[in-house]
Amino acid sequence: MSVELLALFAICPILVALVLMVGLRWPSTRAMPLAFLTGAALAMGVWKLSTLQISALFVQGVITAIGVLIIVFGALLIYYTMQESGAMETIQAGMKRVSPDRRIQAIIIGFMFAAFIEGAAGFGTPAALAAPLLLGLGFPPLCAAVICLVFNSVPVTFGAVGTPVLVGFKSIQDVAMQMAGVTDPAIVYKTIGEYATLMHLPMAYILPIFMLGFMTRFFGKNKSWAEGFACWKYCLMASTCFVIPYLLLAWFVGPELPSMLGGIIGLGVLVWLTKQGVAVPQSNWQFADQSEWEAEWTGEMQASSATEYKENMSQTMAWMPYILCGIILVLTRVPAFHLKPIVTDPMFTVGMTDIFGVKGVSAGIQTLNLPGTIPFILVSIITIFMHRMNASATSAAWSTAIAKMKAPTIALIAAVALVSIFKGTGMNALGYDSMPMAMAKTIAAAAGNAWPALASLAGGLGAFITGSNTVSDMLFANFQWDTATALGYDLVGHYVIVAAQAVGGAMGNMICVHNIVAACAVCGLIGKEGAILRRTFWPFMLYSIPVGIVASYLIFRI
């Protein structure tokens, strides 16, 4: 069977999900199970996987989904614990003093704070933490989810202490070292990261301005792009605060720290500059009264409607759960602190190997290395004592968080199981390419010499399907390298194409169903996934344009 026909079959489950969620506005709890069944039927009928293989892939997906659900639960638990303890109201009061302007708050929390969390943890953690925080500040839930999903793109290539680069491109390490004539693999990863920063750079400045305009246009009372664009000076300042350490660390150190330190250094500098009034707009932009919000903007969780906030504790104490999360993430993820081998020790991993005897189909949950357990649930427990919560408040926080988990469970299990089916089709006995590879090869063959402009879209496709930049890179690393070879590119051209893959996987985070369902879960928006995808698709496409231009320039000019 031709690769083009395989690609046509492979896209069917995606079309089912898109038509049902975006077109017919079905909730993911109904749409994703049907998309999974479509994928399973095609895997059996076209790729000739056995019932046993399909069953093993489904169980693999369930185990992986449980890990994601633990992250969602931990994020919800922190939010409700802080809400019940009075910390959230204290933070609201503090943010109002820094700036009551919702545009400023979106940049500080959604862009800068989330970048630090992405750099330290990855795994969709930024949206899980930042979106509920914006919700608590008074943002419409749909707006909070969209803002955090879209902003979680620039830092993702270097997320989780460089994991997407260091793990995602492991398969091309040897061939890249051989072609480059080097013996240190760190040089390969560092070079990929360097070119990736050049492709991210335009959108690091464009995206904040665009998203503030997007926010004021689609969630503002006056439906005006100009009200968001009016904050352009502040956006440029914020981007510079992030970009300078981001670039310096990527070019002079490596892929482990650009996002994490870029986020935390940029956050500190930006808050200080904001308090000094530097580049802060004269006007104070606010959302309309909640009574005027469209029904689609809200769900089970309501945004804060308070206009005056009481400080129930010091700002330091209120922020301490987030501070602890950051500290623990750094201590347990950065190898220099020697705790990473402990939390990643196989003895703390729960899962199955060669499920149902199907070789290579395995799944596990690293219980201590999962952000949902350490730090989220751990910090939630510490917060009970730190904020001196009584039994009633503690019970309310835990019971509410548990109750909110019912809706996303079905959607996430179906979505992640579909991911397993997509990847698992590669183990067919017919020699067919897997579903994602068939689609990528078809796109590349049609693009020809225009591939540098489109290579990032393959990375985005991988992230959309798998829900992970790292997995997208693992899936397509060899394909991208081989495509560069087939096009006759030199060493630089190979690095540029691979870097475009890394950037595409990052920008794909804003549209992948896996992340959208998780964001909906923490914002009480289960059933509104299609509404989010309709809004995040356009920033995704916008992101691909300058990335393609930079990639093409680097190849054809150099």
Q: What is the pLDDT of residues 369-422, one digit of tens each?
A: 888 888 889 999 999 999 999 999 999 999 988 988 876 788 888 888 988 898
Q: Using alpha carbons only, what angle is made at residue 129 by residues 127 and 131, rounded to the nearest 5 degrees? A: 55
What pLDDT, in 10s, does the model give residues 299-315? 877 776 655 678 889 98
The angle, 0 to 180 degrees and rounded to 10, between the axes of the packed helices 451-466 and 491-507 is 40
Please, are residues 289 and 140 in contact by the beta-carbon 8 Å criterion? no
Cα–Cα distance for residue pair 134/88, rounded to 1 Å: 10
Domain residue ranges of the chain, discontinuous segments joined by +: 3-281+312-557
pLDDT score, position 209: 98
Mean pLDDT of the region 158-179: 86
pLDDT score, position 79: 82
Other Cβ atoms less than 10 A from the Cβ of 89: the count is 21
Cα–Cα distance for residue pair 126/120, rounded to 1 Å: 10
pLDDT of 40 over the 70 cut: yes
Higher pLDDT, 349 or 199: 199
Handedness of CA 253, 254, 256, 257 (dihedral sign): positive
Cα–Cα distance for residue pair 216/211, rounded to 1 Å: 9
pLDDT bracket for residue 326 (50, 70, 90): confident
Helix or strand run (H / E) with residue 147:
helix 141-151
Measured between alpha carbons, how far is residue 378 from residues 87, 133, 157, 329, 374 in Å? Answer: 17, 19, 27, 12, 6
Q: How many residues does the chain have?
A: 558
Cα–Cα distance for residue pair 79/309, rounded to 1 Å: 17
Cα–Cα distance for residue pair 287/303, rounded to 1 Å: 11
> Which contacts of 236-240 are long-range, i.e. CB under 8 A and separated by 24 or more positions?
236/205, 236/209, 236/279, 237/270, 237/273, 237/278, 237/279, 238/107, 238/108, 238/111, 238/112, 238/208, 238/266, 238/270, 239/204, 239/205, 239/208
Where does residue 557 rank: exposed (0-12), middle (13-18), buried (19+ CB within 10 A)?
exposed
Cα–Cα distance for residue pair 309/314, rounded to 1 Å: 13
- Top-ranked range on mean pLDDT: pick from 333-337, 406-410, 430-434: 430-434
**Tokens 């199907």 appear where?**
358
Report the chain's mean pLDDT, rounded to a whole number.
Answer: 89
What pLDDT, in 10s, does the model give residues 61-76? 999 888 888 887 887 8
* C-alpha neighbours within 13 Å on the C-beta side of residue 295: 1
Mean pLDDT of the region 272-301: 91
Measured between alpha carbons, how far is residue 471 from residues 260, 420, 468 in Å? Answer: 20, 11, 5
pLDDT of 125 over the 80 cut: no
For residues 254, 334, 319 and 300, what is the CA-based torsion angle, rounded to 10 degrees? 90
Please, are residues 399 and 94 in contact by the beta-carbon 8 Å criterion? no
Q: Give percent of the chain with pLDDT exceeding 70.
A: 98
pLDDT of 456 over the 90 cut: yes
Please, are residues 154 and 197 in contact by the beta-carbon 8 Å criterion? no
Side chain identity at residue 227, one-letter code:
E
pLDDT score, position 33: 92
Measured between alpha carbons, how far is residue 553 from residues 154, 219, 450, 493, 497 in Å? Answer: 20, 37, 12, 10, 12
Higher pLDDT, 410 or 49: 49
Please, are residues 342 and 37 in contact by the beta-carbon 8 Å criterion? no
Where does residue 515 rank: exposed (0-12), middle (13-18), buried (19+ CB within 10 A)?
buried
